[in-house]
Amino acid sequence: MLAIGTLAKKTGTKVQTIRYYEQIGLMNTPGRTAGGQRRYEVDDLDRLAFIRHSRQLGFSLDAIREMLELADNPQYPCEEVNQIAARQLAEVENRIDRLMSLKTELSRMVTQCQGGHVADCRVLKVLRDHSECLTEHGQSGQAGFNIHPLV
């Protein structure tokens, strides 16, 4: 039996995050001592390690929930898990494409800087007027993608 602090240390996960995963149903509700302290099994450690690694690979909480439901039913074919992973791979590839576009534009901006006065600064001009950009990287103010913090 593991205390929540021990579980947190062994997985590199914050205690608050473990409680959050319990609240949203990713982690099972642990048993409690007579004093009300949470106690976790080795299976909980494995499950939390799975969740943490999945988050590090960028999987959404919904995708992790789907994979955990499938993992809890080992008789199911693994095709569905593979499809979830393939969707994540496509999303990562899409993000890489957008980041490469951003890199190209930023490199162009920096390279075109003449080193003169701020009034003539190419970087500031491009940032003020999106039509000066030569690459397609989205105009939403978020460079066309969302970054999900690891929870």
Task: Give residue for tokens 């990287």.
Answer: 137
Closest CA to 104 of 132, 131, 134, 146: 134
Q: What pLDDT was estimated at residue 119? A: 80
Q: Where are the domains of the chain?
A: 4-56, 79-132
**C-beta of residue 80 within 8 angstroms of C-beta of residue 43:** no
Is residue 104 within 8 A of residue 126, CB to CB? The reply is: no
**Domain spanning 4-56 has what CATH number?**
1.10.1660.10
List pLDDT tens digits, range 88-126.
999 999 999 999 988 988 888 888 877 778 887 878 877
